[in-house]
Amino acid sequence: MKTGIIILSLILSAGMISAQESMKTPKYIEVTGSAEMEVEPDEVIFVIEVQEYWEEEFEKNSEFKDYKTKVPIAKIEKELMEKLAMAGVREERIVIREVGNSWRYFGKEFLINKQIELSLNDLNMVNSLVQSIDARGVKSMKIGELKNVKLTTLRKQVKIEAVKAAREKAEYLLGSIDEELGGVLQVEELETQQNPWWLREQNLLSNVAVSSPDNNGIENLRTIKLRYEIKARFEIL
């Protein structure tokens, strides 16, 4: 009998605790807010990859079996540096990031390649370089990164605006049903396709050497796109 009373008492106590915890959990609304900003870059990292080639590649009616005169990487690099100097790119803004061998054709020598990074302050110089650099020996040209010295501060601003947007959304949604917004209970930054910001650029920065009347090279890459989403939970009073 005593055992039964003790068990009943425990069940009642557990039920009361559960009810109390339920009463402590506030009503809430959960929303997402987003904000974005376009930032003018103050530095452009332009990447040029050069590679040895065969002179016979550019001869009419030549066949692969006829390729025998390899143009050395030293000659290609020298000519490129001369072009860069003529375009106004200072030597201290040029960095060789990578040197290696390309895969070898059967019966042919390896083709050595180099990756050269240019730090430019003027985005318009990219189009100028693309037009002036000889395509022979150039494997690819692309914008590697767009930078701005105030980027860290600007990221914070965009995130703050996203939180404000979330609160504004929660406020007008509750207002439509005559409910009052309370304090914030939880804030969470959401992963997006554009965060971190350079990921977007990696997707957009295709080979700028390929252009057409419908694609003006870097025209669609004038700004750094910052976009953030915030999920926030607010109490309902």
Gap between the Cα atoms of 159 and 36, Å rounded? 9
Structural domain of 203: 26-40+150-236
- Residue 139: inside a domain, yes or no? yes
Domain co-membership, 143 together with 195 = no
pLDDT in tens, 11-42: 545 454 454 555 567 899 999 999 999 998 99
pLDDT confidence bin for 221, thresholds 50/70/90: low
- Residue 13: inside a domain, yes or no? no
Tell how far CA 104 is from the center of its chain: 33
Domain co-membership, 132 together with 206 = no
Count structural domains, the chain: 2
Interval 135-159 mean pLDDT: 92
* pLDDT on residue 97: 82
H-run or E-run covering 78: helix 73-86
Domain co-membership, 171 together with 229 = yes
Lowest mean pLDDT among 32-36, 65-69, 160-164, 209-213: 209-213
Domain co-membership, 133 together with 221 = no
- Dihedral Cα 218, 96, 39, 155, nearest 10 deg: 140
Contact 27, 236 (CB under 8 A): yes
- Residue 6: inside a domain, yes or no? no
Domain co-membership, 59 together with 120 = yes
pLDDT confidence bin for 204, thresholds 50/70/90: very low
The separation between the first and the last C-alpha atoms of the chain, rounded to the nearest angstrom, is: 47
CATH assignment at residue 186: 3.30.110.170
Count the neighbouring beta carbons within 10 Å of the beta carbon of residue 164.
Answer: 14
The rounded mean pLDDT for the chain is 80
Q: What is the pTM of this model?
A: 0.67
Count the neighbouring beta carbons within 10 Å of the beta carbon of residue 108.
Answer: 13
Domain co-membership, 205 together with 171 = yes
pLDDT confidence bin for 107, thresholds 50/70/90: low
For residue 196, with 0-12 CB atoms within 10 Å meaning exposed, 13-18 middle and 19 or more buried, which class applies? exposed
| DSSP state at residue 152 | H
Gap between the Cα atoms of 181 and 52, Å rounded? 67
Domain co-membership, 62 together with 143 = yes
